[in-house]
Chains A and B, each alone.
Chain A
Amino acid sequence: MNAEIKILKPFKPSELTLIVGLPGMAYIGKLSVDYLIQQLKADLIGEVYSKFFPPYVIIKEDGLVELLRNELHVFADAAGRTIVFLSGNSQAFSPEGQYEISEKVIDWAIENGVKKVYAVAALVTDKQFDTPNVYVTATSADMLEEAKAQGAKLLDHGIIGGENGLVVGLAKKRNLEGACLLAETHGYQAPTGEYVIDPRAAKAALNVLTQILDIKVDMEPMEKQALEMDEAFAKMAEIERRVREEMAQSGKRPSYVT
């Protein structure tokens, strides 16, 4: 089982658009796509399993065991257009596995007549900003213009780590139209090394993505989550500022042992 797509329900795609948001830095891709799945009440139609996911399972609160997996949810809008969302609780742990799964999904999307592929990812920066900027990279000038018309800025250079970048690269390789939206984040990490979610950045990405797709979703719940995290980030920034001040006063410089 290198990678396997298990289709749970048959569906009839029309003008298929694939939107990818897998867990990565600050969980921006996953937060954005999970939010759309929830708000649009998209239907679970398939699951992706692979031996390239990290080798553990999750015991949930209800006592049921869950494998690491990706999920395919489908939403059909009033105009008859089909949107498939790829999300999940993990990415493959190796580049080999990330290619394997991304190619499997792109193959499946092509078999189902996909027209466009979008991904949402993070752009980690130490620059200060009031509202996170959203950057775009795309497979064609038309796709770039489409995103820029909704406020995205051109990504001049950078790296998009993991499957959120790979799917758009593979879309280009397969002559599909694709774009990746990258929302700015400071990419805070917990002491355990886990990324802290950044709903403010996810909201910024969603503002661009929903306008491109011409779909309307209630952004209030996301704004509420963003306000809660704004407070948490402000506290983290304040602690960081105090530590720096204390160190400056004592003449010590921050040092690290790696």
Chain B
Amino acid sequence: MENDSGIWIKRHSTLALQEPVAIAGSPGLRSVGKLVVDSLIAQTGAKLFAELYSTHLPSVYQTKPSYAAHPSMPGMGGAVVESGNLDFPKVQFYACSSPPLILVRGYHPNFEGQYTVAENVLDLLREAQVKRMIVAAGYGSKETKICCAASSQNGIEEMKKYEVGVGYKGPFMGFSGLVFGLAKQKGIEAVCLFAGTAPKEDDLEFPDKEASGRIVELLNRILGLQAP
């Protein structure tokens, strides 16, 4: 049922994972975060266990790209049809047991609902015993490298073991930015991996699989996953 914040959650199965690590991504800059999560879902065979719906999730955006929300240009509510099924826009949660992971396919809310959606996503992760989260995203850079940011110095130090240093500074907007920023307040230590991505002349927001591939490769090492 919908709560006072315009959020409702559909649960498909009950989770029993020991402190799973959450990996979150959304269709942000050149879809890097979404591509990472989709790759990991395919690679691990993770199963959908919950979906978060919200009156703050538009089906049609007025702003382009979708993550550049604006208070005076809210998207439109509406339905989404996928594989012949009628549904609403949603954030999806997948889980696999070995290693214990929760994969979050994010979705950009309207400007005014971003904090509310991010807080409810983090509440669901906390309920699933998540203590650590890795967010995947792109950042505008022609250098084909990965840099990191974190909610605490420990996270920065941990990434040094994988030869990943800090690099990007500035604003981080959209679903992934707020989920990352609010994590610490919800008791979740978070690291964000940013892959450098540059636009193509004819398609500024093309899905950058090369950039997402670099993050997936790094996550395979961090999480001890078998590369496909």
Binding site for B on A (CB under 8 A): 1, 49-51, 53, 55-67, 93-94
Contacts and interface: CB of A to CB of B under 8 A. Distances in A.
Contacts, number: 75
Interface string B112-150: 101110010000000000000000000000000001111
A231 to B, nearest CB: 27
B150 A94 contact: no
Contact of A57 (B111, B112, B150, B178): B178
A57 B116 contact: no
Chain B CB within 10 Å, residue with most, of A49, A55, A67: A55
Contact of A64 (B112, B151, B173, B177): B151
B171 interface: yes
21 contacts: A51-B114, A55-B111, A55-B114, A55-B173, A56-B172, A56-B174, A56-B178, A57-B177, A57-B180, A58-B172, A59-B149, A59-B192, A62-B156, A63-B166, A64-B149, A64-B153, A65-B150, A65-B192, A67-B182, A93-B71, A94-B71
B168 A59 contact: yes
A58 B192 CA distance: 12
Interface string B160-190: 0000011111111110011011101100001
Contacts of B152: 64
Contacts of B147: 63
Nearest to B111: A55
Q: Is the interface of B mostly helix, strand, loop or mixed?
A: mixed
Contacts of B171: 56-59
Contacts of B181: 57, 65-67
B192 A55 contact: no
Nearest to A60: B169
B169 A61 contact: yes
Chain B CB within 10 Å, residue with most, of A51, A64, A65, A93: A65
A50 B119 CA distance: 12
Nearest to A4: B185
A62 B172 CA distance: 15
B218 to A, nearest CB: 16
A49 B119 CA distance: 13
Given A55-B111, A61-B166, 13 more contacts: A51-B119, A56-B171, A56-B178, A58-B172, A59-B169, A63-B149, A64-B149, A65-B172, A65-B180, A65-B190, A66-B181, A67-B181, A94-B112
Nearest to B182: A67
B21 interface: no
A65 B188 CA distance: 13
A65 B71 contact: no
B5 to A, nearest CB: 9
Contacts of B167: 63
A1 B120 CA distance: 11
B156 A63 contact: yes
B52 interface: no
A58 B165 CA distance: 17
Contacts of A62: 156, 166
Contacts of A51: 114-116, 119
B95 interface: no
Contacts of A53: 115
B150 to A, nearest CB: 6
Contacts of B112: 94
Contact of B150 (A55, A61, A63): A63
Contacts of B116: 51
A1 B115 CA distance: 8
Given A65-B172, A67-B181, A93-B71, A55 B166 contact: no
A64 B156 contact: yes
Contacts of B115: 1, 50-51, 53, 55
A99 to B, nearest CB: 15
B69 interface: yes
A155 to B, nearest CB: 29
Contacts of A93: 71, 111
A63 B115 CA distance: 22
A60 B174 CA distance: 17
B134 to A, nearest CB: 13
B169 A65 contact: no
Contacts of A56: 171-174, 177-178
Contact of B149 (A55, A65, A94): A65
B203 to A, nearest CB: 25
